[in-house]
Structure 1
Amino acid sequence: MTLSTAISIANVHLQVSDLTRSLGFYQNALGLQVLRAEGQTAWLSANGEPPHLLQISALPNALPRPPRTSGLFHVAFRLPDRLALARLFYRLVALEVPFQGFADHAVSEALYLADPDGNGLELYRDRPRADWPFTNGQVQMTTDPLDVDRLLHEGTHSLETSHRIDPETDIGHIHLQVGDLERAERFYVDLIGMEVMQRSYPGALFIATDGYHHHIGLNIWAGRNVPPAPENTVGLRHFSIAIPDADAWRAKLNKMQTAGRTIKRLDEIDQESFAVKDDDNIEVRLVYRPTPP
């Protein structure tokens, strides 16, 4: 049984070393809005309203994540259109935020950077689905040069002066570094119920539902059979998948239990959810979240 087609990456929880420094980046540079802050944790969204997209928690004296470990490759914030991406790009350049790369992936245009702790981030906009290249039912994402000058020009000449990210921004996907692609496929495809969208990219696997290019990227670029990152390092604490269908959510819960996976129920007043860890010790939360009317 595959997941309901309207699933999404609901939110991501990152561990950082300094909350004030991280808020300065995510709020003042990226343009997210703080919903609330308690102790060493803050919750942020793009539009200033719940639910949150990003949760950041500070672990004082947290160490950098060792390079040859599994964990986060990047969190990908999806802008609603090219102009919104251009505006954000222009503002970040004006703030002298360093970028790590730029790419035209045929299905999207993407900017790559990192937060102050080195947690990878992608900012992107999708091209229309009708323009995505497919071969034998699988999407054919590429990594080609992005026309950075043209994008920056569009942002420079925009009349928009807000320092906030576009309120329609969401998390389009998350990209993980794992120790074994076949093992990861068994968890995310066979157990969670996603579909393989591209196998042809070297050292990577892209999976999704509803024909999207990918909700989750998986790669072994840190090495095969790498260990999980230590808990006292910065990086990914967990990410959540929102499922709008109650029956599909319960089916996933039952399937995980039948497979002998350790389940942690996290039910709150307004939603049902459970947490399970994949084979790289990455915590995944499956949340039942009905589609708003």
Structure 2
Amino acid sequence: MTTDGLPQQTRIGRTALRVNDIEEMTGFYRDIVGLDVLHHSDTSSVLGVEDTPLLILAREEDERQRHSSAAGLFHNAFRVPSREALGDALARIREHWELSGASDHDVSEALYLTDPEDNGIEIYRDRPREDWPRNGDGSVRMGTYPLDLEALEGAAAGDAGLPAGTDIGHVHLEVSSLEAFQNFYVDTVGFEVQVDDPGAVFVSAGGYHHHIGANTWNQRSQPVSGRGLSWFEVLLPDTEALDGVQARITDSQYPVIETEDDGIAVTGPDEIEVRFRTET
């Protein structure tokens, strides 16, 4: 299916996780990641920055642990607006948790960790877009190199939480088929491929390095199930863009349902739910 693509202003909105221990997970994302708790109850938490929700936690006590063969979340990627904020995140992780990785990707500097229920997390900051290396066709070229952690922590400003301007820059999925992923997110929804590597593909709107990543590194073969990713959200700048996405998905094999916030939801490949709505 040929599409007109997505508007440049398209970005990732909220993500939602099914969790077992709502108190522990809320405390982790507040104290280690640095999000503000915007709402909390015995069954759910909404966390974000200032008044902007970014992460929804829903307690599912009887939900089994994600099976090793199930598709789902590789990581949620929280994008901070400055190197100082990334240095502060590193300081919190080193003091209270365990860093699982750190990389310089040419386009960004990134820290990696895992939450108490084994959901992957990336906290990163982008380099200026004009400095991103690109291929001859204009697509982004990303590398993976060691990150100088001592220099990064030296840039810390001493803030306890994530600053204004933090958002979810991208979501990285584990999928069973990269072909099915591209058929849906590129050919139907309208994202563009930026990086296509063996075992992974990264897609975006507006020339960003990636809004959604997908990999088959761990050979997932079953649909999403158990604790972990419940859904994630793509934000569109206007109703015209939303109507275009809805029309294209309606013409595909995936049924569309309306959501309470005037958006739509679709269960795509690997039964991963993705929601679309306009900026509010």
Structure 1 stretches lacking a partner, 5+ long = none
Query: Could you say what secondary structure the match of 2:187 adopts?
Result: helix
The yes-or-no answer on 1:228 pairing with 2:223 is: yes
| Identical-residue share of aligned pairs (%) | 38
Cα deviations across residues 167-219 of structure 1 (Å, max 9, x unaligned)?
A: 221000000011111110010011110100111x3310000011100000011
Indicate if the aligned counterparts of 1:70 and 1:222 stay in contact, CA closer than 8 A.
no
Assess if the C-alpha contact under 8 Å between 1:119 and 1:234 holds in 2. no
Pairing 1:187-226 to 2, within 5 Å after superposition = 187-199=184-196, 201-223=197-219, 226=221
Deviation digits for residues 222-275 of structure 1, max 9, x if unmatched? 216x11132xx211000000101211101111111122421111133xxx2010
The one-letter code sitting in structure 1 at the alignment partner of 2:190 is G
Correspondence for 1:18 among 13, 21, 26? 21
Aligned positions of 1:158-177 closer than 5 A: 158=157, 160=158, 162-177=159-174
Residue 40 of structure 1 corresponds to 43
Q: RMSD in angstroms over aligned alpha carbons?
A: 1.4
- Aligned pairs for 1:1-293 (under 5 A) are 1-47=4-50, 49=51, 51-95=52-96, 97-136=97-136, 137-155=138-156, 158=157, 160=158, 162-199=159-196, 201-223=197-219, 226-230=221-225, 233-268=226-261, 272-290=262-280
How far is 1:289 from its partner? 1.8
After TM superposition, the score normalised by the length of structure 1 is 0.91
| Distance (Å, rounded) in 2 between the aligned partners of 1:28 and 1:104 | 25
- Whether the 8 Å contact between 2:104 and 2:144 is mirrored in structure 1 is yes
Amino acid in the other structure paired with 1:122: E
Amino acid at match of 1:228: P
Tell me the TM-score normalized by structure 2: 0.95
Offset from partner CA, 1:81-106 (integer Å, 9 cap, x none): 111100121122122x1111111111
Q: Aligned partners of 2:107 and 2:19: how far apart in 1? A: 31
Alpha-carbon deviation of 1:61?
A: 4.1
Write out the 4+ residue segments of structure 1 that deviate beyond 4 Å after TM superposition.
none
3-state SS in 1 of match to 2:190:
coil
1 CA distance for matches of 2:140 and 2:193?
Answer: 9
How far apart, CA to CA, are the structure 1 residues paired with 2:175 and 2:277? 23
Contact 1:46–1:166, Cα closer than 8 Å, also in 2: yes
Query: SS state of the match for residue 208, structure 2?
Result: coil
Distance, in Å, in 2 between the alignment partners of 1:143 and 1:64 is 31
Once the two structures are TM-superposed, the CA of residue 127 in structure 1 deviates from its matched residue by 0.6
Unaligned runs of 5+ in 2: none
